Chains A and B, each alone.
Chain A
Amino acid sequence: MHNEKTIKNHIYDAAEKATPDVNRNIKADPRFKQAQKPSPFRKSPSLRVATTIFVVAIAFIVLLTNIERPIDAYSTVYVEINPLIEMDFDENDDLIAVRAHYSGDQLEHQMRKHKGTTYIESIELLIDYAIEAELLDENNPAILIDVDSKDLNKRDAMQGMIASRVPDFVAERVQGGYMIRGNQQNPSDEESARANAMNMGVMRYRLIQQLVEKTGEDAQTYADTPVDRLREKLEAQNIPVNIPSMTDRPGPPHSNGDNDKDDRDDDNDDHTPGPPDGIPGPGGRTP
Chain B
Amino acid sequence: MDEKTLTHHVKALKKGNLSHFDAVYEATRVQVYYTALLVLKDESLAEDIMQETYLKMLESLPSYRPKQKFVAWLTTIARNLSINAYNRRKRELYLEDEKVEGLFGGQQDASENTYYLAQLLAVLSDDEKHVIIEHVVLGKKHKDIATTLQKPLGTITWMYQNALKKLRRKAGEDDA
A-side interface residues toward B, CB under 8 Å?
2, 4, 7-8, 10-12, 14-23, 25-27, 29, 31-32, 35-39, 42
Which residues of the partner chain A approach B113 to less than 8 Å between Cβ atoms?
A: 14, 17-18
Residue of B nearest to A10 (CB): B120
> Besides the contacts A16-B30, A26-B54, what 19 more A-B pairs have beta carbons closer than 8 Å?
A2-B172, A7-B168, A7-B171, A12-B136, A15-B133, A19-B29, A19-B33, A22-B51, A26-B21, A26-B55, A27-B21, A29-B51, A31-B55, A32-B58, A35-B58, A35-B59, A37-B16, A38-B16, A39-B62
B-side interface residues toward A, CB under 8 Å?
16, 18, 21-22, 25, 29-30, 33-34, 43, 47, 50-51, 54-55, 58-59, 61-62, 111, 113-114, 116-117, 120-121, 132-133, 136-137, 164, 167-168, 171-172
Q: How far apart are A45's CB and chain B's nearest CB, in angstroms? A: 12
Q: Is the CB of A20 within 8 A of B47?
A: yes
> What is the bound-complex CA distance between A11 and B128, given in angstroms?
13
Which residues of the partner chain B approach A21 to less than 8 Å between Cβ atoms?
A: 29
Q: Is the interface of B mostly helix, strand, loop or mixed?
A: helix
Residue of A nearest to B163 (CB): A7
Q: Is the CB of B55 within 8 A of A29?
A: yes
> What is the bound-complex CA distance between A2 and B34, given in angstroms?
24
Which residues of the partner chain B approach A37 to less than 8 Å between Cβ atoms?
A: 16
Which residues of the partner chain B approach A25 to less than 8 Å between Cβ atoms?
A: 51
Residue of A nearest to B26 (CB): A23
Which residues of the partner chain A approach B167 to less than 8 Å between Cβ atoms?
A: 2, 7, 11
Q: Is the CB of A11 within 8 A of B120?
A: yes
Enumerate the 9 nearest inter-chain pairs by beta-carbon distance, A residue then B residue, closest first: A35-B58, A17-B113, A18-B113, A14-B117, A2-B171, A22-B51, A18-B114, A18-B117, A15-B137
Residue of B nearest to A26 (CB): B54
Residue among B21, B50, B59, B168 making CB contact with A22, cutoff 8 Å: B50
Q: How far apart are B166's CB and chain A's nearest CB, in angstroms? A: 10
Q: Is the CB of A15 within 8 A of B34?
A: yes
Residue among B21, B59, B136, B171 making CB contact with A15, cutoff 8 Å: B136
Given known contacts A2-B171, A4-B164, is B25 in contact with A14 (CB within 8 Å)? no
Q: How far apart are A244's CB and chain B's nearest CB, in angstroms? A: 66
Which residues of the partner chain B approach A20 to less than 8 Å between Cβ atoms?
A: 33, 43, 47, 50, 111
Q: How far apart are A101's CB and chain B's nearest CB, in angstroms? A: 46
Given known contacts A18-B114, A20-B33, A20-B47, is B137 in contact with A11 (CB within 8 Å)? yes
Residue of B nearest to A39 (CB): B62
Which residues of the partner chain A approach B164 to less than 8 Å between Cβ atoms?
A: 4, 7
Q: How far apart are B57's CB and chain A's nearest CB, in angstroms? A: 9
The 9 listed contacts between A and B (C-beta, < 8 Å) are A11-B120, A11-B132, A19-B30, A20-B33, A22-B51, A29-B55, A32-B55, A36-B16, A42-B62
> What is the bound-complex CA distance between A145 and B165, given in angstroms?
85
Residue of B nearest to A15 (CB): B137
Q: Is the CB of A31 within 8 A of B59?
A: yes
Which residues of the partner chain A approach B29 to less than 8 Å between Cβ atoms?
A: 19, 21-23
Most buried by B among A22, A23, A27: A22
Most buried by B among A14, A23, A25, A37: A14
> What is the bound-complex CA distance between A30 and B113, given in angstroms?
30
> What is the bound-complex CA distance between A17 and B113, given in angstroms?
6
Which residues of the partner chain A approach B120 to less than 8 Å between Cβ atoms?
A: 10-11, 14
> What is the bound-complex CA distance between A35 and B171, given in angstroms?
46
